[in-house]
Amino acid sequence: MRGANHGHAWYTSQTQVWADMKNSGANTIRVVLTGGRYGYSSPADVSAVISRCKAYKLVCVLENHDTTGYGDQGGAVTLDAAADYWLAVKSALQGQEAYAIINIGNEPLGNNSASQWAGATRAAVQKLRNGGGVEYLDMVYGFNVNNRSWWGDRIIWGTNGWKQTSRQATVYN
């Protein structure tokens, strides 16, 4: 994956970014969306984002920024609330699985809540897949290199009983 971020939640009118990214040699664009903390990225907006990605042959990494700093920052929401957002915009996502990746929530737990990461992440992925019918390649954030055993190893190596779908469709960033 080669690309960069676009703060779409704050800069919705800056659509030249897609062309600029493609012209720079990118094959991916991470697009910041919001379910209410910084405005609202509606299903129509998400559809337009995916359409631009398809037009420029870029894979969209759609990221919900509302979770940033949960546990450390006021206003940040849980991964469960982030999953609710993805279910709310499901109509824009269905049928677009070949063009987009869902990053469930950006930096979802702060430094004081790391022990909650595995359970909260597992529950959010299960909510999307089992109850919501959103079968995407899910990207989950929260790997803390300074405290790897809590944030990464247990979920990556399955010691917390994580069960993947038959597609093995979870990426850790």
User: pLDDT tens digits, residue range 149-165?
Assistant: 433 443 443 434 344 44
The larger pLDDT score, comparing residue 15 to residue 153, is at: 15
Residue 121: pLDDT band with limits 50, 70, 90: confident
Least confident of 33-37, 49-53, 62-66, 134-138: 134-138
Using the predicted structure, report yes or no on whether residue 103 has a pLDDT greater than 50. Answer: yes
- Is residue 61 within 8 A of residue 100, CB to CB? The reply is yes
Report the share of the chain in percent with pLDDT over 70. 72
Its pTM stands at 0.82
CB atoms within 10 A of CB 8: 26
The residues, ordered by sequence, that sit 6+ positions from 18 with a Cβ below 8 Å of its Cβ are: 6, 29, 52, 53, 55, 56, 58
What domains lie within the chain, and their CATH numbers?
3-149+156-172 (3.20.20.80)
Which pLDDT value is given to residue 117?
78
Q: Return the pLDDT at 114.
A: 64
